[in-house]
Amino acid sequence: MSVLRSPLALVGAGLVAALVVAAVLAPVIAPYDPGAASGTSYAPPSLEHPVGTNNLGQDMLSRLIWGARASVSVALGATLLALTIGVVVGVGAALVGGLVDTLAMRVVDVLLALPRLPLLVVVAALAGAGRLTVTVVIGLIFWPPMARIVRSRALSLRRRGFVECARGFGAGLPYLIRRHLLPALGPVIVALFISVASNAVLLEASLAFLGLADPTGVSWGLDINRALAEPGIYFTSAWLWWVLPTGFAITLAILGFTLLGVGLEPVLNPRWERGS
């Protein structure tokens, strides 16, 4: 795989791997229960609490590790949902063509013009910001750009020799999709997956920062929301171990996906491989 040749992409893969490991193994590797007080309030970093504690005496390291879980589960769920709808609509529109194609792309046009975060905010505020709601809404917001890219790829694939040949031999639509289109679309889908996942991580954190997250759950954005709501947070040194590591956790998660995406860029668009 050409990705492994790029050191940046390797770093990105490492960061994403660390994020996923933290998310999956959170109950095992977190030293304390993230929701229970395990020390005094605002304890600075020490051997017992390597990243200190927050206002409620909860261990920040444990909260950082459990926060990865919220991030990964929302990102994964939302991305899978967006991909499924996007691929179905994109491939369908390209293959069926005609009125279906025109209608689908008009709908996509309208949806693309809607601003994402404000829409997300209104829906999450009205429907209640449970993790499932946030995941589904982020997924629903990201399928239109995917559908458009997949469609344009599928359109050009449709006229390629091997697809026309299969058609000439009487291949049906489901067969064409399964055997020829999906494998050929694979690299694009992987690249789209990464780009949407990174956006989903950012959106989940942004929503939680605005207070739109399950209040009983652990989420990085929610931790920053609570920290900044604390009066005088900037005048205690608690900012240094409450906000700073949490913010960097979000940043590193996004950075991981970005670097991985940069490494995959030549796959998504071979023309760029020549370099700029």
Partner 1 sequence: MAMRLGSNAADRSGSIATTGADAQLRRPGRQPAWTLPAAYVVTVLALVALNFLLPRLMPGDPISALYTEGTASYVQDGGQREALRAYYGLDEPLGAQFVAYATGLVQGDLGTSIRYQVPVSELIAERLPRSLLLMGTALVLGTGLGVLAGAAAGWRRGRRLDRGLLVGFISLRNFPVFFLGSIALYVFAVKLGCFPLSGSSTPFVSLEPLARAGDVAWHLALPAGVLATEFATGQFLLMRAGMVSELGSDHLLGGRAKGLGDRVLKYRYAGRNALLPVASLMAIHVSAMVTLTILVETVFRYEGLGRLVFDAIRFRDYPTLQGCFLVLTLMVVTANFLADLAYRRLDPRVTT
Out of 28, 40, 98, 118, point to the residue binding partner 1 (CB under 8 A): 118
Alpha-carbon distance of 199 to 172, in angstroms, equals 36
Residues 130-169, interacting with partner 1 (CB under 8 A): 144-145, 148, 152
Is 276 a binding residue for partner 1 by CB under 8 A? The answer is yes
Residue 116 near partner 1 by CB under 8 A: yes
Q: Near partner 1 by CB under 8 A, which window of 57-65, 80-88, 164-172, 254-262? A: 254-262
Q: Is 217 in the site for partner 1 (CB under 8 A)?
A: no
H or E segment to which residue 251 belongs: helix 238-268
Single out the residue of 45, 50, 211, 217 in contact with partner 1 (rule: CB under 8 A).
211
Q: Which among 29-37, 93-101, 120-128, 170-178 is the span making contact with partner 1, rule CB under 8 A?
A: 120-128
CB-CB contact of 44 with 52 (8 Å): yes
Contact between 106 and partner 1 by CB under 8 A: the answer reads: yes
Residue 224 in contact with partner 1, rule: CB under 8 A = yes
Instruction: Give yes or no for a contact between 41 and 31, defined as CB atoms under 8 angstroms apart.
Output: no
Stretches 83-91, 123-131, 158-166, 168-176: which one binds partner 1 (CB under 8 A)? 123-131
Helices (H), 25-169: 26-29, 60-96, 98-113, 116-127, 131-158, 161-168
| Separation between Cα atoms, residue 42 and residue 53, nearest integer Å | 5
Report the largest interatomic distance among the alpha carbons of the chain, rounded to a whole angstrom. Answer: 74
Q: Check: CB of residue 57 under 8 Å from CB of residue 44.
A: no
Q: Kindly report the number of other CB atoms within 10 A of residue 22's CB atom.
A: 21
| Residue 179 engages partner 1 in binding (rule: CB under 8 A) | no
Angle, to 10 degrees, between the axis of helix 7-24 and the axis of helix 238-268? 120
Of 88, 100, 119, 190, which lies in the binding site for partner 1, with binding defined by CB under 8 A?
Answer: 119
Rounded CA-CA distance 179/163 in Å is 10
How far apart are CB 248 and partner 1 at their closest, in Å?
8
CB of 81 to partner 1, least distance (A): 17
The SS3 of residue 1 is coil
Q: Where are the alpha helices (DSSP H) in 159-237?
A: 161-168, 173-176, 182-209, 220-229
CB of 178 to partner 1, least distance (A): 26
267 belongs to the binding site for partner 1 (CB under 8 A):
no
Q: Whole-number minimum distance, CB 173 to partner 1, in Å?
A: 23
Instruction: Find the binding residues for partner 1 in span 3-62 (CB under 8 A).
Output: none
What is the contact surface with partner 1 in residues (CB under 8 A)? 106, 109-110, 112-119, 121-123, 125-128, 144-145, 148, 152, 195, 199, 202, 205-206, 209-212, 224, 228, 234-235, 239, 243-244, 247-248, 250-251, 254-255, 258, 265, 269, 272, 276
